[in-house]
Amino acid sequence: MKRPAIVHIGRAAQWVLRLFNPTDGVSPVDADSLPTVSVRKNRSGTADSVTVTKRSATTGIFDCSYNPAGEAEGDAFTIKESAVIGGTTYENSWEFTVIAPERGTDNAASAQIH
């Protein structure tokens, strides 16, 4: 599962965090402790929390879920993941934008046709 680039209003962003041995970059490895994820909304820090869960019976795979609160169309979120492996901290950042699920090209809400 790739990290989402777009999240619809009212939906949670879900992704998988995979960790690999830093010496070979290939072998899955567990973090020293549960990885942490911080959130910035429109370049400002938030108190929002991301749920990070170690996938059972696996090595180096963590499921992440974040449900933004009070988001509006056009909000930009930066997600910063942090994991400690063998006493060294590794970080990764990525972004997503919030959009309305039923938006037309003229910026007016439009109905879905099935």
Write out the two tokens for 48: 């929002």
SS3 30: coil
User: What's the mean pLDDT when you consider all of the chain?
Assistant: 88
Confidence of residue 1 (pLDDT cuts 50, 70, 90): low
pLDDT value of residue 3: 87
**Torsion, CA 26, CA 66, CA 46, CA 90, rounded to 10:** -10
How far is the C-alpha of 110 from the C-alpha of 50, rounded, in Å?
Answer: 31
Domains and CATH numbers, the chain: 6-99 (2.60.40.10)
User: Taking a C-beta distance cutoff of 8 angstroms, is the pair 8, 98 a contact?
Assistant: yes
Write out the two tokens for 75: 């909000």
Model pTM score:
0.82
| pLDDT tens figures, 80-107 | 999 999 999 999 999 999 998 766 555 5
